[in-house]
Structure 1
Amino acid sequence: MDSNIVIYILSDSIGETGEQVARAAASQFNSGKYEIRRFPYITDEEQIVEVFEEAKEEQSIVVFTVVIERLKKFILLKSKEYDIPAVDLMTPVLNSIESVVGFQPKRESGLIRRLDEQYFKKVEAVEFAVKYDDGKDTRGIKKADIILVGVSRTSKTPLSMYLAHKNFKVANVPLVPEVPAPDELFEKDTKRVFGLIANPFKLNEIRQERLRSLGLSNNANYASIERIKEELEYSKKIMERLECKVIDVSNKAVEETAGIIIEIMKENFD
């Protein structure tokens, strides 16, 4: 690249993809004398004409990521008219995918940005679930989409993480007879609170296994049937006060319990 060149990026979205590809290509030329000018959110022909009018005054090329067929054709038309090279980044890839899947693309602008937004929303929900796991910080109760309450080993944490991957912000609160339930629980919309219970003998097995994995004696009070029954009775009283939906997770996979909760949330809030 012996002289300065201006690379115009046209996009019907933000143009980030086009700019990254253009920079990657330009970096392959030793001098590196180039300028990027990005024109996002192209929606009509007039904008395209303005870009070509500017580009004709310089040594330039046009790189575009436009999926709207009408605008794509207009860019290629102006490319010939102004004798300025135009590179269509999207069409070859779209055509190749179409040939494999057998149906046409949506040709909607900005879809990748919406996918990115979904991704970051999921990350935020996962971070929320970690931060407000196991009653670490009761302030999360007010901010959460869903609150899970129950005694130890009723799958609160894995369920919180699963729901987080479905973009729900979840806080979970352990119910222990010796520890008063936080006031924030009783101020929450009851439709957002879910109580988890389980068969005491099932919990006994799970807790004994947990103790073994930690190298502790399985005779600890934590795993005794009497203690578990006491905890469950206490938790059921709290759930009655909360007037929340109660789910028995004894023989349910996390996915199944999550499915029940998501369905209820849709009914209540969609």
Structure 2
Amino acid sequence: MTAAAKTDVIIYVVSDSAGDTGELVVRAAIAQFHPIHADIRRAPFIQDEHALLRVVEQAKAQGAILLYTLVLPNLRSELSRLAEEKGVVTIDLLGSLVASLEEKTGRKSRQEPGLNHALDEDYFRKVEAVEFAVKYDDMRDTTGILKADIVLVGVSRTSKTPLSMYLAHKKFKVANVPLMPELKPPDELFKLRKDKIIGLTIGVHYLNVIRKERLKALGLPDSASYATTSRIEQELTYASDVMEKLGCVVIDVSHKAVEETASLIMEHVTRRS
């Protein structure tokens, strides 16, 4: 997001580990309020009360929400105290669940941050997939197309990048390719098995609204050709022709959250294997 972009809400994700869990939950919630713009800021590997105080003071100054996934009880209680003292809205993502599990099982939690990130093969596969998605995002390097588990194609603002990152966290290597009339699709697309390609389409009106909001967020007039109905229709017609040539599955992402579209994609991938 650029400096000119409008931010609707700032959310700090505070963790005594990496903060992946908290950020995923925040993004899932934010998806229900599209197209608001959230500034998600991680405060990872918090170890002491001084670090907590700094984060709470920053959140107070910016009118932010604090979501935390603190495993250590002393850090949880101190954050709760500080937030109440400063009048900061907080959400404890783990505390209540851990307490309920302790009561139900009669066992104490291990109170070890980062256990869900044990450095096993599964974790490294996820890291590798995320790095792949970043490297081969938006056709920066077309060599990734033939290496990918999934290739997403579609016009601008059909959620290609968010879907790539979401699927990467599910350990899929995803490349994505923008389709526009002025840009010839890479030859690698036509060498790939069609069941590895997912076409993303969207309704004209819905895309018009999304693109206008994007232009406003960038401080640009919403009358730019990028968001006009005629330009959108031209792009979608072109993209539809390319997808037909590719023979790929096409998913309409209109009014769908990223998680819902990703679920449909994973179902398709499961069926092909």
Q: Structure 2: how far apart are the matches of 1:220 and 1:250?
A: 22
CA RMSD of aligned residues (A): 2.2
Identify if the C-alpha distance between structure 1 residues 98 and 223 changes in structure 2 by more than 3 Å, giving closer, same or farther.
closer
Between the two structures, name the one with larger relative contact order (CA 8 Å, sep ≥ 6). 2
| SS at 1:237 equivalent | helix
Which residue is 1:132 aligned to?
136
Where do residues 146-157 of structure 1 align in structure 2 (5 Å cutoff)?
146-157=150-161
Aligned match for 2:165, one of 161, 174, 189: 161
Which residue is 1:248 aligned to?
252
Q: Structure 1: how far apart are the matches of 2:106 and 2:125?
A: 31
Quick one: which amino acid aligns to residue 154 of structure 1? T
Quick one: which amino acid aligns to residue 196 of structure 1? L
Q: Structure 2: how far apart are the matches of 1:221 and 1:113?
A: 45
How far 1:116 sits from its partner (Å)?
1.7
1:172 aligns with 2:182: no
Between Structure 1 and Structure 2, whose CA radius of gyration is higher? 1
Q: Is this contact kept in 1: 2:117–2:123, CA < 8 A? A: no
Identify if the C-alpha distance between structure 1 residues 220 and 265 changes in structure 2 by more than 3 Å, giving closer, same or farther.
same
| SS at 1:139 equivalent | helix
Quick one: which amino acid aligns to residue 264 of structure 2? I
1:111-152 superposed Cα distances (whole Å, 9 cap, x missing partner): x99862111110110111011111111000011000000000
Extract unaligned runs of 5+ from structure 1: 1-96, 104-111
Quick one: which amino acid aligns to residue 202 of structure 2? A
Q: Structure 2: how far apart are the matches of 1:207 and 1:99?
A: 49
Quick one: which amino acid aligns to residue 195 of structure 1? G
| SS at 1:148 equivalent | strand
How far 1:101 sits from its partner (Å)?
3.4
Where do residues 68-87 of structure 1 align in structure 2 (5 Å cutoff)?
none
How far 1:100 sits from its partner (Å)?
6.0
Q: How many residues align?
A: 166
Identify if the C-alpha distance between structure 1 residues 229 and 192 changes in structure 2 by more than 3 Å, giving closer, same or farther.
same
| SS at 1:186 equivalent | helix
Extract unaligned runs of 5+ from structure 2: 1-100, 108-115
Q: Percent identity?
A: 61
Q: Structure 2: how far apart are the matches of 1:194 and 1:186?
A: 13
Which residue is 1:214 aligned to?
218
Quick one: which amino acid aligns to residue 249 of structure 1? V
Which residue is 2:267 aligned to?
263
TM-score calculated relative to the size of structure 1? 0.58
Where do residues 56-205 of structure 1 align in structure 2 (5 Å cutoff)?
101=105, 116-205=120-209
Q: Structure 2: how far apart are the matches of 1:252 and 1:151?
A: 16
Moved over 2 A (4+): 97-103, 112-115
Quick one: which amino acid aligns to residue 266 of structure 1? T
Q: Structure 2: how far apart are the matches of 1:181 and 1:197?
A: 16
Q: Is this contact kept in 1: 2:136–2:176, CA < 8 A? A: yes
Q: Structure 1: how far apart are the matches of 2:106 and 2:245?
A: 56
1:157-206 superposed Cα distances (whole Å, 9 cap, x missing partner): 00000000000000000001000000000000100000000001100110
| SS at 2:221 equivalent | coil
Q: Structure 2: how far apart are the matches of 1:113 and 1:212?
A: 39
